[in-house]
Structure 1
Amino acid sequence: MSTPVLKNRLQSDLTDAIRARDQVRSATLRLALTAVKSQEVAGSSARELSDDEVLAVLRTEVKKRREAAEAFAAAGRPDRAERERAEQEVLESYLPAQLTEDELTGLVAEAVAQAAASGQTGTAAMGRVMGLVRARTGQRAEGGRVAAEVRRQLQG
């Protein structure tokens, strides 16, 4: 099996960052590659991750950075929070573009209307609407963002 394109890109970007002496980028890419390798050896047998699986690992790492930045900011550590945000930005550059709030609102409104047309309304339609929206958004919107918007539109 050939090495996934995204993993190769991470490795070559790490080499470039080291040569450029970009400490934040090189440290972040090292951590990301370590997370990918950890995932590859997890389970009963080692295997190579596909690009989609590497993206899933990167998404998890972005979420960790966001939560850590929030925790550091709440604890009065703006320096550490800024470092986490910088790492988050580096990792987000490898992810597909996220939907804007307007695009997400429009997709959710369509799904709510579709569920209402089939007789499901209110919070009881949450599962159906989530299924419709997740099918349309794929990986371009976080589940938490989608759920919050669906809940907002179903209650409002």
Structure 2
Amino acid sequence: MSLLEQLNSDMKLMMKNREKDKLVVIRMVKASLQNEAIKLKKDSLTGDEELTVLSREIKQRKDSLHEFSKANRLDLVDKVQKEIDILDVYLPEQLSEEELQTIVKETIDETGASSKADMGKVMSAIMPKVKGKADGAVINRLVSEQLSQ
């Protein structure tokens, strides 16, 4: 079942159960998926493309969460955190930090990276491997740590 089909199914369930907060978030993500399909001039998105859109939506919310917490807007922090929790359900299972460290080490060895100057090369090689399964900021931190040793 594709992400869009899952969202449609959950949307019907949320309407029946009158879960307005979840329904609003699901509709926003569904609209983003449809907009992406229009932008790419496709009838439907592939699984990877859907995952990219979902990851982008979550990243935007995490960025907002950070800004709202800096501005001490706890009302908005709670709202955005709930949206992130709703969307996390649709992501594939996240990799543990140990698994990520292993992938980072393997990728550094594959690319022959030896210093922080090679950071871009490592990041571009590693991101397709962990797409949707890890936060880019965590990957960036792990790669940076490994290259500075």
Deviation, 1:135, is: 5.1
Closer, same or farther in 2 for the Cα pair 1:107/1:73, shift >3 Å? same
Pick closer, same or farther for the CA change 1:91–1:46 going to 2, 3 Å: same
Pairing 1:71–2:64 present? no
Task: Tell me, in whole angstroms, the C-alpha distance in 1 between the residues paired with 2:96 and 2:7.
Answer: 26
8 A contact 2:22–2:83 mirrored in 1:
yes
Q: CA RMSD in A?
A: 2.2
Runs of 4+ in 1 over 4 A off after TM superposition: none
Select which of 5, 21, 24 maps to 2:21: 24
Show structure 1 runs of 5+ residues with no match. Answer: none
Percent pairwise identity: 28
- The answer as to whether partners of 2:29 and 2:54 remain within 8 angstroms in 1 is yes
Query: Deviation at 1:90?
Result: 0.9
Q: Kindly indicate whether residue 82 of structure 2 is the aligned counterpart of residue 86 of structure 1.
A: yes
Aligned counterpart, 1:11: 8
Query: Which residue number in structure 2 is paired with residue 145 of structure 1?
Result: 138
Conservation of the 8 A alpha-carbon contact between 2:55 and 2:132: no
| SS of residue matched to 1:137 | coil
Q: Is the CA contact 2:65–2:81 (under 8 Å) kept in the aligned structure 1? A: yes
Partners of 2:73 and 2:92 in 1: CA distance: 30
What residue ranges of structure 2 are gaps of 5+ in the alignment? Answer: none
Distance 1:74 1:133 in 2: 31
Aligned length: 149
Q: Which residue is 2:55 aligned to?
A: 59
Whichever of the two has the greater Rg, that structure is: 1
TM-score scaled by structure 2? 0.85
